[in-house]
Amino acid sequence: MPIAEKFRKIGKKTEGTEFYNYLPRGYKKGRTKYIVITGSVISGVGKGTFSSCLGNMLKIFHGFNVVPLKFECYVNYDSGTLNPFRHGEVFVLDDGTETDLDLGTYERMLDKNLTKSSFVTMGRVFKTIIDKERAGDYLGRDVEFIPHVTGEIKNFARKLALESSADIVLIEIGGTVGEIQNSLYLEAMRELAYEEGGGNVCFINVTYILEPGSLGEQKSKAAQLGIKALMSIGIQPDIIICRSENPISEKIKEKISIYSNVDVSRTIGFHDTSNIYKFPLVLKEKHLDKSVFEILNLKPGKPHKDLEVWKSLEKKVRESKRDIKIGITGKYTNVRDSYISILKAIEHTCPYLGARADVRWIDTTGINSGNAGKELKGLDGIIVPGGFGARGTEGKIECIRHAREKKIPFLGLCFGFEMAVLDFARNVCGLRNANSTEVEPNTREPVICILPEQEEVEGLGGSMRLGGYDMAVRENTLAHRLYNKTKIRERFRHRWNVNTKYIDLLEKKGLVFSGRAPRKRIMQILELPGHPFFLATQYHGEYTSRPLNPSPIFRGFIEAVVERKKS
C-alpha cells in the first residue's frame, strides 16, 4: 500500500475516536462467552488448577468447547529461557511454543492440544505493539497504554475466540490483584466486559482464607482487602472462590459476601485435596455451572462422552491400593514444579494399574559409583528426566547403570536418553571417555553431540528443536508393543543427539534404537532387550500424557514397576 494511502486510512481511523478496538474479521459479539479468573491474597493460590477443572466440568457435563488463555505478566517473550529453580517446568506445545506449566494443566484436564494463541506474555504484547509501530500501523497517533496496549490484549482474546470457535474462552490472569505487573491485563478485561456487553463476561476471583496456626481460626480480612483491590479498579467479581487448607465456615462466607457484593450462594469454598480428578465433580455438586450459566445467559448442554470415563478414573484413584516407590533423579529436586508433567503422568497412569506412587526425590549431584546402591535402595522404578548443563550428569549416569545392572525398571526422558547412551557406551562398549559435547566440549569420544541444525544457532530463546515431530517405530520392539504403531508423534525440546559415528557400535553391542526420525539418522527411542523395562526417549512423553489417555511409555513403565513389586 502506498504510504500516502496508509496515512489516509489510519488517520481516518484514529483522528475521530479514542477507541482502539478493531474486531477481527468475522467476529461477532456474544457468540463466544468469556470467563476471567483472577487471584488475590497470595500467588500460587491455585488459579490454574481451578480454571482447568472449571473448564473440564463445563466440557464433560455440558459438552461446551472451552478454550483457555493464560495472560502471563513477565516481559519474557515466552517461558523458554526461565530457570526451573525460579519458575518450575517449561511446558512445550505441539507447535513448539515454550509456555508456563499451567498450559500443561489445561491440556491434561481439557484433553486438548493448545497453540501459542493460548499463551500471551507481556513481552509478546509489547513486541506486537513495537512491531506495529515500526511498521507504521499507528501513524497519526502517539502509542499509549490505553487504548493501544489494552486494545492489543483484547485482540489476543478475541482472535483466539474466533480461530478456535470456542463457546467459552477461559482467561486466567497471572499474578495477584494489586500488583503493577498485571494491571494492564486487568484494565483490558474491564474494557472487554464493557465492550462485549452484559451477559458475555463472567469474573471469578480466587482468593485465599488464612488460618494462622497461632490463632487456630480462619481469618478473612486479607481476602476482603484483595477483593476490594479488584473492585477499586472497576471489576466487580461475579463469583468468589475461597481456597483454604480446611473447609471454610459459613461465617467466613458471609463476611466475604457482604464485603464483595457477591451472594453467599456464589461465595464458594474449596479446601485442599489430594485428588484433583474429583475436583470437576465437586464443582458440579456445588452448582458452579448453574451460577456461570445465569451470569452468561447460557443454557446447560448435553454431557460429553468422556463424563462416565472421568467418573471411572476418579473412582480408580480412590480405590488404588498398591504402593510403588519411584525415584526421580535430577538436579531440580527441591522444586517439585520443575517436573510437574512427569508427576502428573505418573499420577494419572497409576490408577489404571491399581497403584499409588510414592515418589522419592534423588539429587544426583552427590551420587557416584560408591554410593549409588545405597541412595537408590528400595526403589521399584527409576526415572531420569530432562535437564541441561554438566552439574549432576555423572550421578545420573550412575543411576542408569544401577537400574540396568540390577534389572530395575528404567525410563529416561530427553537428557535421560542421552545419559543412557553414555552409560552404555562407557560400561558396555568400553568407551571410557564417552561424553556429551554439552558437558565436555572437547571430549575425545563425543558420543552425544549437537544436532547439525543447531550448530549455527545463536541465542537461547526459541532456538532448540521444539514441538511435535513424527517418528518411525521399528516393529517387534518394546516401543512398537507400547504404541502399537509404526508412526507416532511426540514433543521435543533439545539441542543434542546421538553422534551418528557411534550408532553402529552401540547397536552391535546390543542397544536397540527402536524409534528414529523418518528421513534423518536421528535416534529418538532406545531400549535394551532382556531387561524388565529399560527404555529412554529423546522426546518428552509426559507432555502428551492425559488422564483419560496416559502416555504409552509411562503406562509401560508403571506396568513393569507393578510387576516387579508383585514378584
Catalytic residues: 414, 540, 542
Per-residue 3-state assignment (H helix, E strand, C coil) for 472-526: EECCCCHHHHHHCCCEEEEEEEECEEECHHHHHHHHHCCCEEEEECCCCCCEEEE
Cell numbers for 357, please give them. Answer: 506412587
Tell me the residue type at 546.
R
- Separation between Cα atoms, residue 454 and residue 214, nearest integer Å: 56
Sign of the torsion angle spanned by Cα atoms 264, 268, 271, 273: positive
* H-helix or E-strand spanning residue 342: helix 340-349
How, if at all, do strands 496-498 and 512-516 pair? unpaired
* Residue 400 near residue 372 (C-beta atoms within 8 A): no
What are the C-alpha distances in Å from 469 to residues 95, 488, 522, 539?
10, 8, 12, 9
* Residue 547 near residue 537 (C-beta atoms within 8 A): no
220 in helix, strand or coil? coil
In 3D space, the residue among 419, 379, 418, 380 whose CA is nearest the CA of residue 396 turns out to be: 419
- Separation between Cα atoms, residue 166 and residue 152, nearest integer Å: 19
CA–centroid distance for 237 within its chain: 27
